[in-house]
Amino acid sequence: MIPIRDTQPSNCFPVVTYILMGLNLMVFGFQIQSGFDNEALFYTFGLVPAKYTVHEMSRHFTLLNQILSVFTYMFLHGGFLHFIGNMWTLYIFGDNVEEHFGSFRFLGFYLICGIISGLFHFFTNPASMVPTIGASGAIAGVMGAYFLLFPKSKILTVIPIIIIPLFFEIPAFIFLGVWFLIQFLNAAGSGAGSGIAWWAHIGGFIAGLILVKLNKKLPETGTRQKISQFTAKKRTPKLQMIVTSGNPDSSDLYGDISITSIEAITGSNKLVTIPWGFYKPLYKVKIPSGVKQGTRLRLARMGKVSPTGGKGNMYLTVNIKNAI
C-alpha cells in the first residue's frame, strides 16, 4: 500500500512542515557529498546510546555533542528510500497537524516528539553502540497526533495490481492503527541489532498522542490566527477522490469537486479518481474560469457503463472554499 494523500482539508500553507522538509533535504544533500558510509558523521551527529553509558566511548565526545546529538540525529538518513519515505509521510500528515497546533507550536511539538522518540530508543537499548538516525521518530509523533485529531479522515492509498493502480480510501484510524501495530510487533520480536529503531517509532507516536492532550490545556496567544492570515492556501489538491452517487436505473453519476475562490476566478486543472471505476481510475477535469458556487460541470461519457454498452455522464457540482 502506498499512501498518496489524505482527504482532511487544510486551509493553511504548512510553512514549518516545508521548512523541516527543506532542512532535511539540505542535510541529505550534504550526506550525498560525504557518502552514506561516513561512519564518523553518523557517530558524531547520530544518537548513540553508548555515548552516554559506556565510558570508553563517552570520553571521546564532549558534553555539547552529547546534548546536540539528541536533535541532530533526526535530520540524518541512511539512504534514498529512508529519506523519501520519511519526507513523503511528513508531507501527507504534517499540514493538518501544523494547522491544528499553529506554526510555532508545531515546530516545538515536532522537536519534542523527536527527543522523546530518541529517549525511548535509549532506554530500550542503553548500551547500544549503533548510531540511530532519521526523522522517523518525530514523524511518528505527527502520525500519532493525526490519529487522535482526525480519526475519521481517509487516506487515499494506491495498491498496484500487476500494472493497474487501484485507489482506495482507508480510514485514518485503521491506516495509522495498523502502522502502530506493525511497529509494536517488530519491536517486540526484534533485538537491538535489527537495524531499525522500532521503539523510537513507538515512543514518537505515543508522544504525539500525549502532546495533543497537553496542548489543549495551554492558553491561546493569538499568534496562530495572525500567522494564518498570511498562510491561507490558494489552491485545493491537484488529485481528488470523488465519491459519486446515482440512480440504479441510470448510468449517470453525480459528485462534488472542491476548489478555492482563486481557482474559481482563474480556472484550474484537476485529476479525479472515482472508487467504482477500475478500467480508468484517473480522469482529467478542467475547471473553467469564472465558475460560481453550485455550478454543475458535465463530463461526457465518464459515468457508468450501461447494460447496452454505452457510457453515461458524470456531473460534478462545484464547491468553492473561501481560502482568501
Task: Provide the 8-state DSSP code for 249.
Answer: T
Instruction: Kindly state whether residues 123 and 194 are assigned to the same domain.
Output: yes
The phi, psi pair for 241, rounded to 5°, reads -90, 125
Number of domains in the chain: 2
Q: Which CATH number covers residue 34? A: 1.20.1540.10
Is residue 183 domain-shared with residue 156, that is, in the same domain? yes
Strands 268-273 and 283-287 come out as antiparallel
pLDDT tens digit sequence for 21-76: 999 999 999 999 988 888 899 999 999 999 999 988 889 899 999 999 999 999 99
What CATH number does the domain containing 285 carry? 2.60.260.20
Do 86 and 208 fall within a single domain? yes
What is the layout of strands, in order, in the sheet containing 283-287?
239-241, 268-273, 283-287
pLDDT of 231 above 80: no
Instruction: Name the percent of the chain lying above pLDDT 70.
Output: 91
User: What CA–CA distance (Å, rounded) separates 260 from 95?
Assistant: 17
Q: Render pLDDT for 253-284 as a digit per residue (tens, 0 to 9).
A: 898 998 888 888 999 998 887 765 444 567 78
User: What's the whole-model pTM score?
Assistant: 0.75
Give the range with max mean pLDDT: 69-83, 150-164, 214-228.
Answer: 69-83
- Which range of residues forms the domain containing residue 243? 239-321
249 and 224: one domain?
Answer: no
Spatial distance between the Cα atoms of 147 and 145, rounded to a whole number of angstroms: 5
Whole-number average pLDDT of the chain: 86
Name the helix (H) or strand (E) containing 228.
helix 223-231
Instruction: Tell me how far apart the alpha carbons of residues 272 and 281 are, in angstroms, rounded to a whole number.
Output: 8
Question: Sign of dihedral through CA atoms 39, 43, 49, 51?
Answer: positive
Q: Do 27 and 174 fall within a single domain?
A: yes
Which of the 8 DSSP states describes residue 239? E
- Statement to judge: residues 180 and 309 lie in one domain: no
* Backbone φ, ψ for residue 218 (5° rounding): -85, 140
Grid look-up 460560481 returns: 292
Quick one: 286 and 180 in the same domain? no
Reported as a pLDDT band with limits 50, 70 and 90, residue 323 is: very low
